């Protein structure tokens, strides 16, 4: 391990839906492929199927429903107080579909990580796969990045690239990207757990002993 004072890192994962990225990270942690513990999985939606999956594996789960709060600030404050009960080293956003306030983001500066289904800085926001097809780009993918107050923006830790095929629909492209997300995000989680990821003063990322942080889909054009 690159960190001599090695202790298992503590993750809290936020989801909104199926949490397939969360599941891949948890599986690695439970199988000791990732030296971290997932202390809790939290969703803003009671119907998130990922909550049941995590609970069945003995992980604490909680719902903080945004509909119970009158403002973004009060929702984020409640979420923060629950997350902080677990003293996480990193908070991983994995399909968490809420815009977070600058105060929340600042509180977790350097510890808040997101996966976005595009090659940032292209296509922030929603409907990224449809945007990629509409623009005619030939390469699309996913980005794992530190979160800043600007939506879908921030120092890039790793990216995954897939081809866009002439017959692609937003759905087929989403499926190809998600398959790669399941490789990229778990690998970043391992680097985080091993203490290898450093945010540099110039706001770029360095990962100890890793020279290439691009992952390419096995499917060729
Ligand atoms: C993924 O494409 C993720 O990047 C996006 O939501 C999708 C579903 O993710 N933000 P998951 O299956 O809930 O992890």
State residue 3's pLDDT score. Answer: 46
Ligand 1 atom closest to Cα of residue 142: 4
Question: pTM of this prediction?
Answer: 0.95
Complete domains list, the chain, with CATH: 4-216 (3.40.50.170)
Q: Kindly name the residue from 116, 129, 140, 182 that is annotated as catalytic.
A: 116
Burial of 111 (0-12, 13-18, 19+ CB in 10 A): middle
Pocket test for ligand 1, best of 41, 93, 178 (most atoms within 8 A of CB): 178
- Based on the residue annotation, tell me whether 116 is a catalytic residue of this protein: yes
State residue 194's pLDDT score. Answer: 97
State residue 219's pLDDT score. Answer: 67
Using CA atoms, how far residue 152 sits from 8, 52, 118, 214, in Å, is 28, 28, 10, 18
Residue identifier of the C-alpha nearest atom 9 of ligand 1: 95
Residue identifier of the C-alpha nearest atom 3 of ligand 1: 95
Neighbour tally for 134: CB within 10 Å: 11
Pocket test for ligand 1, best of 23, 48, 94 (most atoms within 8 A of CB): 94
The CA 19 to ligand 1 mean position distance, Å, reads: 7
Report helix angle 170-193 to 20-30, nearest 10.
30
Pocket residues: Cβ below 6 A from ligand 1: 15, 17-22, 94-95, 115, 117, 178, 181
State residue 122's pLDDT score. Answer: 97
State residue 55's pLDDT score. Answer: 98
Walking along the chain (221 residues) 10 residues at a time, the average pLDDT comes out as 66 97 98 97 97 98 94 97 98 96 97 98 97 98 97 96 98 98 98 97 97 86 49
State residue 92's pLDDT score. Answer: 98
């Amino acid at each position: 391990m690159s960190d001599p004072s090695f202790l298992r890192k503590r993750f809290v994962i936020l989801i909104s839906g199926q949490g397939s990225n969360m599941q891949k990270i948890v599986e690695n942690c439970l199988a000791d492929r990732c030296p971290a513990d997932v202390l809790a999985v939290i969703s803003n939606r009671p119907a998130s199927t990922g909550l049941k999956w995590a609970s069945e594996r003995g992980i604490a789960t909680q719902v903080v429903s945004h509909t119970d709060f009158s403002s973004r600030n009060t929702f984020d404050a409640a979420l923060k107080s629950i997350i902080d009960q677990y003293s996480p080293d990193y908070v991983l956003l994995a399909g968490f579909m809420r815009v977070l306030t600058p105060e929340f983001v600042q509180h977790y500066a350097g510890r808040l990580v997101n996966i976005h289904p595009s090659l940032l800085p292209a296509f922030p926001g929603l409907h990224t796969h449809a945007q990629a097809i509409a623009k005619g780009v030939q390469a699309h993918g996913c980005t794992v990045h530190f979160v800043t107050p600007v939506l879908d923006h921030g120092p890039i830790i790793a990216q995954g690239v897939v081809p866009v095929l002439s017959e692609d629909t937003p759905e087929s492209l989403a499926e190809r990207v998600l398959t790669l997300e399941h490789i990229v995000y778990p690998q970043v989680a391992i680097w985080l757990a091993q203490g290898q990821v450093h945010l540099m003063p110039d706001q770029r990322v360095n990962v100890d002993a890793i020279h290439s942080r691009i992952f390419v889909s096995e499917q060729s054009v």
